[in-house]
């Protein structure tokens, strides 16, 4: 003899990005929302009757639609809106649990009026690799997990198409990536003064951010090269930089079935996809320098 105990169902990890446009200044709210509903759900478990079941796909759509209709003032207020909607809108649902993770973005200061470039807060890890063979030094500095985003000034079109191509061309898209970079210092002789490593790191990071924010992008490859070139061109201290940039895709959500227009002048709602993703990698060298950073960055610290 068995009985059914406590149970719930819903949609987990709905990744929603809300971009609000205030002229040239953009504001973002980036959430990971999980919905769990409980109530009169015995029959779906015991007999397979779906009469009281609101599809989990509907809960996902509700998250996107509410982000557009109501905006996201805060994670808490958005969760309250969703929970109230599910409990009051469905007789069989007596309890709703909404769990939300919010990812903070820090605005990148840029010259001029455009304010649409961001860096994810509290994500970056600084790295270093030092090699010494008894006579000479090789120092690789770097960073990983530096998440950047431009909410406009990015296009992608004019690419090769074949029978399997379905990606539509776009003249305005979100460009987001997670920067993994290693750069090789010119310093190799202990008889010469060593760089100020902390200052060098800060300046290199700043050049990467400025180039990402300041490049009107027609491809992530173009942005990668601009970032690497900004570091090399900043001075003689760095001879080589290798960048690995995954394309963190954000797709406009189709809200037409709910009578909502997305991508309106005041902003839009996007689905943040984590995989699969495009991966763009390249090395930028000072003219005449020989490459020395390994192509595969995965085993570097």
Dist. CA 68–CA 84, nearest whole Å:
17
* DSSP SS3 for 5: coil
- Catalytic, 27? Answer no
* DSSP SS3 for 185: strand
DSSP 43-104: HHHHT---TTPPPHHHHHHHHHHHHHHH--S-HHHHHHHHHHHHHHH-TTEEEEEEEEEEE-
Dist. CA 35–CA 86, nearest whole Å:
10
Dist. CA 242–CA 165, nearest whole Å:
30
The CA distances from residue 17 to 62, 78, 124, 140, 294, in Å, are 14, 13, 20, 35, 35
Catalytic: which of 144, 207, 249, 250? 249
The CA distances from residue 143 to 53, 126, 129, 177, 243, in Å, are 47, 4, 11, 13, 10
Catalytic: which of 20, 56, 58, 110? 56
The CA distances from residue 112 to 24, 115, 241, in Å, are 10, 8, 28
Look at the alpha carbons of 54, 59, 61, 67 in this order and tell me if their dihedral is positive or negative: positive
Closest CA to 213 of 16, 26, 17: 26
- Catalytic, 165? Answer no
- Catalytic, 52? Answer no
Dist. CA 291–CA 232, nearest whole Å:
13
Q: Indicate which residues carry an active-site annotation.
A: 11, 56, 249
């Amino acid at each position: 003899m068995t009985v059914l105990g406590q149970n719930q169902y819903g949609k987990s990890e709905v990744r929603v990005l809300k971009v609000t446009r205030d002229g040239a200044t953009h504001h973002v709210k980036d959430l990971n929302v999980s919905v769990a509903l409980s109530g009169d759900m015995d029959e779906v478990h015991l007999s397979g009757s779906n009469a009281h079941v609101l599809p989990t796909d509907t809960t996902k759509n509700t998250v996107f639609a509410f982000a557009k209709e109501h905006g996201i003032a805060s994670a808490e207020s958005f969760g309250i809106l969703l929970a109230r909607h599910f409990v009051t809108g469905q007789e069989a649902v007596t309890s709703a649990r909404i769990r939300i993770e919010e990812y903070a973005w820090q605005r990148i200061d840029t010259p001029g009026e455009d304010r649409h470039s961001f860096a994810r807060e509290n994500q970056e890890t600084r790295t270093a690799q030092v090699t010494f063979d008894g006579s000479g030094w090789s120092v690789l500095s770097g960073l990983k997990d530096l998440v950047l985003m431009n909410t406009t000034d990015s296009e992608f079109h004019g690419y090769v198409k074949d029978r399997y191509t379905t990606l539509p061309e776009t003249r305005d898209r979100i460009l987001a990536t997670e920067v993994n970079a290693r750069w090789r210092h010119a310093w190799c002789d202990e008889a010469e003064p060593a760089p100020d490593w902390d200052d060098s790191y800060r300046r290199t990071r700043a050049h990467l951010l400025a180039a990402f924010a300041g490049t009107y992008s027609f491809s992530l490859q173009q942005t990668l090269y601009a970032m690497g070139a900004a570091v090399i061109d900043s001075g003689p201290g760095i001879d080589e930089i290798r960048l690995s940039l995954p394309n963190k895709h954000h797709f406009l959500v189709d809200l037409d079935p709910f009578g909502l227009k997305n991508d309106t002048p005041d902003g839009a709602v996007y689905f943040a996809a984590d995989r699969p993703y495009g991966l763009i990698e390249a090395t930028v060298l000072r003219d005449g320098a020989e490459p020395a950073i390994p192509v595969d960055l995965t085993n570097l610290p």
